[in-house]
Amino acid sequence: MAAPIRQSLFGVAKGRWRFEGLWAGSLGSRSLALAAAPSISGSPWRLLGAVCLQRPPLVSKPLTPLQEEMAALLQQIEVERSLYSDHELRALDEAQQLAKKKADLYDEEGDEQNVLLTQDMEDAWEQKFLQFKPGARITEADKKNDRTSLHRKLDRNLVLLVKEKLGDQDVWMLPQAEWQPGETLRGTAERTLATLSENNLEAKFLGNAPCGHYKFKFPQAMRTESSLGAKIFFFKALLVTGDFSQPRKKGQRVWVCKEELGDYLRPKYLAQVRRFLLD
Amino acid sequence: MALAALGVSARALRSRSWLLGTWQTQIRDTHQRASLLSFWELIPMRAEPLRKKKKVDPKKDQAVKDRLKKRIRRLEKASQELIPIEDFITPVRLLDKARQRPPVELPFEESERRALLLKKWSLYKHQEHEKERDAIRTMLKSQQEALQELQLMSPELHAEATKRDLSLFPFEREGPDYTPPVSNYQPPEGRYHDITKVYTQVEFKR
């Protein structure tokens, strides 16, 4: 049993051994606890289902300078090629009348004061617009950089990360759970979400198929006949409503965008996860 | 004697005739016969065969009905009005010449700036398209690899993973707005009068 394992080790990339060391105690201790639940009969790999829960953006992204310029140009061209609107015609007529009145030296008494000039109308509209206070695109949570809050980075997708104590180390990862015989992998992912959120979160799973996978082998010390390593299958879900109730342990959960994933996840794991995250 | 001859002929006929009806008519019509023993004269041979009126009547009725239907169809076709597409009809008040703007003459710098900006924009969009395409390709590849791994692990789970998810579609979601929703927003009071024109087209279904 030692020889084939050594051969597979030689075939493995250099970084993996180091990485496996980190996972050493983790699943080793878990595997002792869950020794009664084998993954698939005959296969030495343990099976885990994980959920990639994303909060979709609430607000559109800000435009880049090139996009701003282009938007301005398109607006200009549209105005140039259009016909005069009623409001503009009215403004032109009034301008003509004013010019006439200045040219004529007689002061015509009339309905000068009763006429509502277009300028007055525009000012009134402007005032009304200023009275409306829209919601802030950059929220307080952004300013504080409070990563546990859902109201941060409203223009990006936020992914849920969870810190779990595996053995003697704390590891950040996507929420996962061991597969139990009798359920589908998607069922495992849904169960993970339910246990994590205590049914406060409502998520829409995008299909039955996994979007990515990650497999790794346990280090030599932890390997047994039946567990050579583990395979994690990720399932994508979109957050519809709901949020976690007051977090009991503040350091355990984090909502993070794609760039910030590197601060939390391990390199190999991160590489696999980034493949299926669109930004 | 005649009666006896009649009885004899009747018995002779009884043995020969095999249709009960013809036997009865033979007895009935015997006063019209030329001779008593004539059998074939009893069976009416000179008359035309009876015309069965049953086939022709339903045909006639059907023909009448078809003609009526044709007439109704012609009437319907003539009266069918197409629903007007309001976007394609220019309102008359916009055909006024006073509405037209004077043509703008752009200075050279402005037209140059526009041309260069359009070129930069097309390059940017091309790059954006390539990035999106590559991202989608990577996502698909990742999914395919995951499914392959699952197949190697356990074919049953793979089969379940490749089943269609019927609860996925119809999938509806409100897209991102410019500003997030305000929590304590009071909309202005008033009633909403819907003045869209609704056209109905009567369609006869056969």
Mean pLDDT of chain B: 82
Please judge whether B182 and A135 are an interchain contact, meaning their C-beta atoms are less than 8 angstroms apart: yes
Flag if B150 and A184 touch (Cβ within 8 Å). no
Higher pLDDT residue, A95 or B82? Answer: A95
Q: Which of B142, B164, B179 sits opposite A135 (nearest CB)?
A: B179
Give, as one character, the DSSP assignment of residue A78: H
What pLDDT score does A124 carry? 95
Instruction: In whole angstroms, give the CA distance from residue A233 to residue A51.
Output: 8
Q: Which two tokens stand for residue B187?
A: 């909309």
Greatest pairwise CA separation for chain A in angstroms: 112
Beta carbons of A29 and A178 less than 8 angstroms apart: no
- The residues near B68 (Cβ < 8 Å, ≥ 6 apart) are none
Q: Domains of chain B: which residue ranges?
A: 130-160
pLDDT at B124: 98
Neighbour-count burial for A28-47, b at 16+ CB within 10 Å, e otherwise? bebbeeeeeeebbeebbbbb
**Chain B residue at shortest CA distance from A151:** B180
Among the partner residues A59, A135, A211, nearest to B142 by beta-carbon distance = A211
* pLDDT above 50 (res B156): yes
CA torsion through residues A248, A252, A253, A257, sign: positive
Reported as type and span, the H/E element at residue A89 is helix A86-103
| Among candidate residues A213, A173, A205, the one with its CA nearest the CA of residue A187 | A205
Provide the pLDDT for residue A142.
Answer: 78
- Three-state secondary structure readout of B144-162: HHHHHHHHHHCHHHHHHHC
Interface size, chain A vs chain B, as Cβ–Cβ contacts under 8 Å: 124
Q: How confident is the model at residue B8 (pLDDT cuts 50, 70, 90)?
A: low
Beta carbons within 8 Å of B90's beta carbon, 6+ residues apart: none
User: How many of the other CB atoms lie within 10 Å of CB of A187?
Assistant: 16
What's the rounded mean pLDDT across residues B158-183? 90
Domains of chain A: which residue ranges? 45-60+141-275
Taking CA atoms, A17 is separated from A22, A26, A164, A217, A273, in Å, by: 9, 15, 21, 9, 19
Write the pLDDT tens digit of every residue in A50-109: 999 999 999 999 999 999 999 999 999 999 999 999 999 999 999 999 898 888 866 665
Q: For residue A208, give both structure tokens.
A: 């039955």
3-state DSSP call for residue A138?
coil
Q: Which ranges of A118-265 does DSSP label H, i.e. alpha helix?
A: 118-131, 140-144, 185-197
| ipTM > 0.90, yes or no | no
- Fold (topology level) of A45-60+141-275: Nucleoside Triphosphate Pyrophosphohydrolase (3.90.79)
Q: What is the pLDDT of residue B116?
A: 97
**Does any CB of chain B come closer than 8 Å to the CB of residue A43?**
yes
Q: Quote the pLDDT of residue A251.
A: 62
Any long-range contacts for B132-136 (C-beta under 8 Å, 24+ apart)?
B135/A278, B135/A279, B136/A278
Task: Summarize pLDDT for A234-248 with one digit per residue, the tens.
Answer: 999 999 887 776 665
The DSSP-derived string for chain B is -HHHHHHHHHHHHHHH---HHHHHHHHHGGGG-SSTT--TTTS--SSPPPP--TTHHHHHHHHHHHHHHHHHHHHHHHH--PPP-GGGS--GGGG-GGGBPPPP---HHHHHHHHHHHHHHHHHHHHHHHHHHHHHHHHHHHHHHHHHHHHHH-HHHHHHHTS--TTT-S---PPPBSSPPPTT--PPP-----------------
Burial of B41 (0-12, 13-18, 19+ CB in 10 A): middle
Best residue in B157, B167, B174 to probe A by mutation, most A CBs within 10 Å? B157
Which segments of chain A have a pLDDT < 70? 1-39, 105-114, 245-251
Record: contact B180-A231, CB cut-off 8 A: no
Region of poorest pLDDT, from A41-45, A201-205, B68-72, B154-158: A41-45
Structure tokens at A124: 């009134």
- Judging by DSSP bridges, how do beta strands A45-55 and A229-241 pair with one another? parallel
- The two structure tokens encoding residue A117: 């000039």
